[in-house]
Copies of this chain bind each other. A is one copy, B any other.
Amino acid sequence: MSQENNDIIRIAVDAMGGDFAPDYPVLGAIQAAQENKNIEVILVGPEKEIKDVISKQNVSLSNLKVVNADEWVTMEDSPADVFKTKPNSSLNVALRLQREKEADALVSAGNTGAVLSHSTLRLGRIQGINRATIGAELPSTNGSTLVFDVGTTVDCRPNHLVEYAIMGSIFSKNIYKKDNPKVGLLSIGEEKTKGNELTLSAYEMLEKAPINFVGNVEGGDILRGTVDVVICDGFVGNILLKMAESVLDLFKFKLREYSEKGFLQKIWIGMMYGTLKKILRKFDYQEQGGTPLLGVNGISIIGHGKSTPYAIKKMIFRAEEVSRMKINRKIELAIIENKLINK
């Protein structure tokens, strides 16, 4: 490990992001700062409220700071407008810290669209990247499958898919420690000739890209874990992700429906519940530690609005990891390499 890797990583946490702000982000930040002394956590938001939550925990941490911001972005705010209407939002102030080199990364469980627009505007894009991308980790028989993109760009051009593939591949390799991550293009059949206009064009470009491209994969391959990284446009990815999230809801509904058939059924389901909860945990997005926004010239980790303190803590550690692994620099180099290959 280089000396640089021992530097303290400073992570700005949007204390007003998520459905349970400021409590959960603050609690998650406290846990992270307690457990990891190689990071400094900077909580950004209304100072008094944040300090109230901290003081209730009765902790004093030298690596936990507070930076004041009197406004915040809500789930109802339009991602396109709020950048101008709330210049002093906790999100914007947190990103300003990163831009001014006073922080190395952002963690937010707030309005995803706003985190995306603010990150792109404040940090800019990595050289050679035309579209930033948000990925998601879906459960699979193989552990998990990363899907890019899940909602950044709905009408993609083929070269956007190639960028996603390169970024997803680097993320999988460095963060998920996959040796030579297998990248699949999401389509309607394994054959090269199966797909829509977008995927048919992207296929050719992916074959030449500096990644381990294994060809088309189908909808069933995501949960089956056939590949490490699945590439699709943001429209398809967003729909898939939301469908995957709803599987647990349907399953819980079916369990409840069964338990309401009678007293014995109720007891029986009650007995099974703990085991099922363990088995189904991977489907529960509250357990996961945020999804990366890749392609911006900085680090933004986006979390689910329902993120628990534990999830926030995991997002903070993820931010540290992305920073130490120099993911952005690696993306920049791979994009240059791809351009050389495809020249």
Contacts and interface: CB of A to CB of B under 8 A. Distances in A.
Interface of A: 139-141, 151, 154-155, 186-188, 195-197, 218-224, 232-236, 238-247, 249-251, 253-255, 258, 268-269, 272, 275-276, 278-280, 282
A186 to B, nearest CB: 6
A188 B240 contact: no
Given A155-B196, A196-B154, A240-B243, A188 B223 contact: no
A224 B249 contact: yes
Contact of A195 (B154, B222, B224, B280): B154
Contact of A250 (B141, B240, B245): B141
A188 B149 CA distance: 13
Contact of A240 (B240, B251, B276): B240
A287 to B, nearest CB: 14
29 contacts: A141-B249, A154-B188, A188-B239, A195-B235, A196-B233, A218-B238, A218-B242, A219-B238, A219-B240, A219-B245, A220-B242, A220-B243, A221-B246, A222-B243, A223-B246, A223-B249, A223-B250, A232-B239, A236-B236, A236-B239, A239-B240, A243-B243, A251-B279, A251-B280, A254-B279, A254-B282, A258-B275, A258-B278, A272-B272
Contacts of A139: 250
A144 to B, nearest CB: 11
Interface centre among A197, A238, A240, A279 (most CB of B within 10 A): A279
A234 B219 CA distance: 12
A196 to B, nearest CB: 4
A258 B279 contact: yes
A41 to B, nearest CB: 32
A220 B234 contact: no
A275 B270 CA distance: 12
A276 B273 CA distance: 11
Nearest to A199: B235
A244 B126 CA distance: 36
Contacts of A236: 235-236, 239
Given A151-B188, A240-B219, A240-B239, A224 B250 contact: yes
Contacts of A220: 242-243, 245-246, 249
B275 A246 contact: no
Contact of A243 (B141, B238, B244, B249): B244
Contacts of A219: 238-246
A141 B246 CA distance: 10
A224 B246 contact: yes
